[in-house]
Structure 1
Amino acid sequence: MSARAGIVVTGTEVLTGRIADRNGPWLAERLLELGVELAHITICGDRPGDLAAQLRFLAAEGVDLIITSGGLGPTADDLTVATVAEFCGRELVLDPELEARIADIVARVMARFPNVDADAVRAANRKQALIPAGAHVLEPVGTAPGVVVPGTPTVVVLPGPPRELQPMWRAAVATPAVQQAIAGRTRYRQDTVRMFGLPESALAATLRDAEVQIAGFERLEITTCVRRGEVEMVTRYEPDSAAVYAELLTLVRQRHGGEIFSEDGTTVDEQVAALLAGRRVATAESCTGGLLAARLTEIPGSSGYVCGSVVAYANDAKTAVLDVDPALVAAHGAVSEPVVAAMADGALRRFSADTAVAISGVAGPGGGTPDKPVGTVCFCVRLAEGPTVVRTLRLPGDRADVRERSTTVALHLLREVLSRPS
């Protein structure tokens, strides 16, 4: 079995949901990269008893490494180091050199605040120079140092702000105590297959068959989830099980080859970004309110090809900005394939683009009709040189679901059109 680790995220603000935890997922990814098995992520408030309970729990689970985040500040509720020292059976001692370094950092910070009592601030920060005897000090990125306490398990104490925790983690991993704790790590491989237009239940049936048909299937750790209307299968395995994974992938291809769009982990966003290289794309959106344009511009490097977007809910706006013929709207309705095609044409002309995507639908709540209930969405992808796809779908879920799924469908249609041989 690989070396195992546990993470304790501290902070009442995280426990109560006022702040979303970013450190647990980030550390989980770093442990995976190292080949360390993550056993648990726990969250507790700023109460020493609760933190001590989490530390005891993880130690009882037999983990080799415990990582804590948060609770290293100068205030009275920042008690992580003291609690860890007690858990590890070590005395808290003052590190004079560390105290001097922290004082220098505080002095530079306080220079921007002339009305603050610098001596009082330095006194408050003095507690940050108290460390467990024999611990390795991780130099502060902000004002709070971290510590690595050797033992069984070894405990790594990191600050809460991600901008401080992340560089400090790299320093922690390099310490002899952490290297010894993770000496039994296993280098795992992880592969991701993404599918679109496939219900998760269909993939689940395939995996049940694979469990029976494929020798060594139990050596694969498989996670499936639905994300933005796509089905994602993540498989983690040791290198000597590569042949087992290859057999699984062959079965998935046989059953769902038409729905697989990525076997290397790339997202549809990344694939569309590559296909749009050298092109100019414009969007015309109604029910999605600009979400597609926003998603396109969030892709790294996308600023070079997104040339504009129109959000037009009212029919008058579709006519005034996108040149949609009012007679077309009157004859077919705003949510219709003829109108969404006209919106795409208008976007092409308005922005002198060579690629356009238009979306019009009934996202809800209310507003649907028996012919066009909530979730009815029309799409058009049009290229200036000719190829066009127009499609109407019924998408499940509430308003937020319909809007988000619509952007995913639009990207897949864009990918489909751009992937066609010229």
Structure 2
Amino acid sequence: MSARAGIVVTGTEVLTGRVQDRNGPWIADRLLELGVELAHITICGDRPGDIAAALRFLAGEGTDLIVTSGGLGPTADDMTVEVVAHFCGRELVLDDVLEEKIAAILKRLRARFTDVDFDAVRAANRKQAMVPAGAQILDPVGTAPGVMVAGKPTVLVLPGPPRELQPMWHTAVQMPGLQEAIAGRTEYRQDMVRMFGLPESGLAETLREAQGQIDGFDRLEITTCLRRGELEIVTRYEPDAAPVYAELLRVLREHHARQIFSEDGSLVDDQVAALLTGRRIATAESCTAGLVAARLTDIPGSSGYVAGGVVAYANEAKSGMLDVDAELIETHGAVSEPVAEAMARGALRRFDADTAVATTGIAGPGGGTKDKPVGTVCFSVLLADGPTLTRTLLLPGNRSDVRERSTTVAMHLLRRALLGAKDPAALRD
């Protein structure tokens, strides 16, 4: 079994949701990179009893390393170091060298606040120089030092602000105390397959079948996640289980070849960016409020191929800005495939582009009809030198869900059309 670790994120502001926890997931990724098995992430408020309970729980789970974040400041609610010292059976002592380092940092900061009594500030920050006896000290990145107390488990105490925690973590990883704590780590490999157009229930059935077919299936740690309408299948395994993973991949391809769009974890956004090389794209959006254009422009280097976009809700805007025939709208309705195609053609002309993507739909919460309920969205992708793909889908969820899923659908239709321009076989259903 690999070395095991636990994470304790402290802070009432995090516990109550006022501040989003960024440290727990970040540390979890770093532990994974080291080959350390993460047992638990806990979040607790700034209460000594709760912090101590979290430490006892993780120790009871057999962890070799506990990493804490937060609670290292000079105020009364910052008490992580004191609790850790008591948990580890160490006396809390003043480190004179550390106190001078903190004082030097405070002097540099004092220049910004000329009306502050430096002696009072130094007295308040002396608390930050109190450390468990025998602890290894990590120099401050801000004003708060980190500490590491070796033992079973070893406890690494890091500050809360990510800009301080992250560089301090990289220092801690090189220290003998942490290396000894994770000496039993195991090297893992991690691979990700991404799918689109498959419900989780369909994947679950395939995985049950694979479990019965593949020898050593239990050596694979498989997690699935539905994100923005896509399925992510992440598999972690030891290197000698690579043949087992290869068998799993074979089963997934056999059952879901059409739905798999990435076997290396690459995003559809990155694939679209590569396919758009040398092209010029424009967008025309109604229900998605410019989110397709935003997603395209969020891709690094997108300024080289995104020509522009139009967000048009009113029928008059569709006619005036995208040259959509008013009679076409009257005949088929604003939410219709003919109008989506006309919007794409209008965007192509307006921005002198060779690629266009258009969306028009009903995101809600009102405005739907029996024939076109809320969630009805029409998409059209038009290539001047290739195919036109037009689809109508009924997407679940509230306004935000429909918009988010619509942008994902648009990206996948765009990917498929661009692939079809190179290989018509990619357009086959």
Give the TM-score taking structure 1 as reference length. 0.98
Corresponding letter in the other structure for 2:378: C
Indicate yes or no: 2:14 matched with 1:38: no
- Give the Cα–Cα distance (whole angstroms) in 2 for the partners of residues 88 and 380 of structure 1: 63
Indicate yes or no: 2:102 matched with 1:102: yes
- Give the Cα–Cα distance (whole angstroms) in 2 for the partners of residues 221 and 182 of structure 1: 20
- Give the Cα–Cα distance (whole angstroms) in 2 for the partners of residues 269 and 386 of structure 1: 20
| Aligned match of 1:244 | 244
| Aligned match of 1:375 | 375
Query: Residues 33-85 of structure 1: CA distance to partner in whole angstroms, max 9, x if unpaired?
Result: 10000000000000111100100110111100000000011111100111101
How many angstroms does 1:104 deviate by? Answer: 1.3
- Give the Cα–Cα distance (whole angstroms) in 1 for the partners of residues 304 and 152 of structure 2: 52
- Give the Cα–Cα distance (whole angstroms) in 2 for the partners of residues 259 and 416 of structure 1: 12
- Give the Cα–Cα distance (whole angstroms) in 2 for the partners of residues 121 and 351 of structure 1: 59
- Give the Cα–Cα distance (whole angstroms) in 1 for the partners of residues 19 and 83 of structure 2: 23
- Give the Cα–Cα distance (whole angstroms) in 1 for the partners of residues 168 and 345 of structure 2: 52
- Give the Cα–Cα distance (whole angstroms) in 2 for the partners of residues 279 and 174 of structure 1: 47
| Aligned match of 1:226 | 226
How many angstroms does 1:336 deviate by? Answer: 0.8
Give yes or no for contact 2:386–2:420 (8 Å, CA) kept in 1. no
| Aligned match of 1:348 | 348
How many angstroms does 1:303 deviate by? Answer: 2.7
| Aligned match of 2:387 | 387
| Aligned match of 2:361 | 361
| Aligned match of 1:58 | 58
- When the two structures are aligned, how many residues end up with a matched partner? 422
Query: Residues 136-190 of structure 1: CA distance to partner in whole angstroms, max 9, x if unpaired?
Result: 1111111111111111100000011111111110011111010001000011111
Report SS of the residue matched to 2:151.
Answer: coil
Corresponding letter in the other structure for 1:47: R
How many angstroms does 1:105 deviate by? Answer: 1.1
- Give the Cα–Cα distance (whole angstroms) in 2 for the partners of residues 419 and 105 of structure 1: 56
Query: Residues 365-415 of structure 1: CA distance to partner in whole angstroms, max 9, x if unpaired?
Result: 121111111111100111222421111111122211111110000000000
| Aligned match of 2:427 | none
Corresponding letter in the other structure for 2:125: N
Q: Which runs of structure 2 are paired with 1:16-415 in the superposition (5 Å)?
A: 16-415=16-415
- Give the Cα–Cα distance (whole angstroms) in 1 for the partners of residues 307 and 126 of structure 2: 54
- Give the Cα–Cα distance (whole angstroms) in 2 for the partners of residues 319 and 386 of structure 1: 25
Give yes or no for contact 2:290–2:310 (8 Å, CA) kept in 1. yes
Query: Residues 234-257 of structure 1: CA distance to partner in whole angstroms, max 9, x if unpaired?
Result: 111111111111111111111111
Corresponding letter in the other structure for 2:271: Q
How many angstroms does 1:280 deviate by? Answer: 1.9
Report SS of the residue matched to 1:363.
Answer: coil
| Aligned match of 1:6 | 6
Report SS of the residue matched to 2:404.
Answer: helix
| Aligned match of 2:426 | none
Give yes or no for contact 2:387–2:421 (8 Å, CA) kept in 1. no
- Give the Cα–Cα distance (whole angstroms) in 2 for the partners of residues 278 and 73 of structure 1: 52
- Give the Cα–Cα distance (whole angstroms) in 2 for the partners of residues 238 and 175 of structure 1: 26
Q: Against the structure 1 CA distance between its residues 392 and 13, is the aligned structure 2 distance closer, same or farther, given a 3 Å change threshold?
A: same
- Give the Cα–Cα distance (whole angstroms) in 1 for the partners of residues 314 and 361 of structure 2: 12
Corresponding letter in the other structure for 1:205: E
- Give the Cα–Cα distance (whole angstroms) in 2 for the partners of residues 263 and 65 of structure 1: 33
How many angstroms does 1:302 deviate by? Answer: 2.0
How many angstroms does 1:126 deviate by? Answer: 1.1
- Give the Cα–Cα distance (whole angstroms) in 1 for the partners of residues 350 and 98 of structure 2: 62
- Give the Cα–Cα distance (whole angstroms) in 1 for the partners of residues 413 and 320 of structure 2: 27
- Give the Cα–Cα distance (whole angstroms) in 2 for the partners of residues 86 and 140 of structure 1: 22
Query: Residues 285-340 of structure 1: CA distance to partner in whole angstroms, max 9, x if unpaired?
Result: 11011111111122222232222121111111111211211111111111011111
Q: Against the structure 1 CA distance between its residues 320 and 421, is the aligned structure 2 distance closer, same or farther, given a 3 Å change threshold?
A: closer
Give yes or no for contact 2:229–2:405 (8 Å, CA) kept in 1. yes
- Give the Cα–Cα distance (whole angstroms) in 2 for the partners of residues 315 and 42 of structure 1: 52
**Identity across aligned pairs (percent)?**
75
- Give the Cα–Cα distance (whole angstroms) in 2 for the partners of residues 143 and 350 of structure 1: 55
- Give the Cα–Cα distance (whole angstroms) in 2 for the partners of residues 138 and 345 of structure 1: 60
- Give the Cα–Cα distance (whole angstroms) in 1 for the partners of residues 278 and 115 of structure 2: 55
- Give the Cα–Cα distance (whole angstroms) in 1 for the partners of residues 407 and 205 of structure 2: 28
Give yes or no for contact 2:386–2:421 (8 Å, CA) kept in 1. no
How many angstroms does 1:93 deviate by? Answer: 1.4
How many angstroms does 1:421 deviate by? Answer: 4.3
- Give the Cα–Cα distance (whole angstroms) in 2 for the partners of residues 316 and 139 of structure 1: 63
Give yes or no for contact 2:385–2:421 (8 Å, CA) kept in 1. no
- Give the Cα–Cα distance (whole angstroms) in 1 for the partners of residues 141 and 173 of structure 2: 16
How many angstroms does 1:2 deviate by? Answer: 0.1
- Give the Cα–Cα distance (whole angstroms) in 1 for the partners of residues 172 and 300 of structure 2: 30
Report SS of the residue matched to 2:8.
Answer: strand
Query: Residues 319-364 of structure 1: CA distance to partner in whole angstroms, max 9, x if unpaired?
Result: 1211211111111111011111111111112222221111000111
Corresponding letter in the other structure for 1:183: A
Give the TM-score taking structure 2 as reference length. 0.97
Report SS of the residue matched to 1:296.
Answer: helix
- Give the Cα–Cα distance (whole angstroms) in 2 for the partners of residues 386 and 231 of structure 1: 29
Report SS of the residue matched to 1:194.
Answer: strand
How many angstroms does 1:274 deviate by? Answer: 1.3
Q: Against the structure 1 CA distance between its residues 386 and 252, is the aligned structure 2 distance closer, same or farther, given a 3 Å change threshold?
A: closer
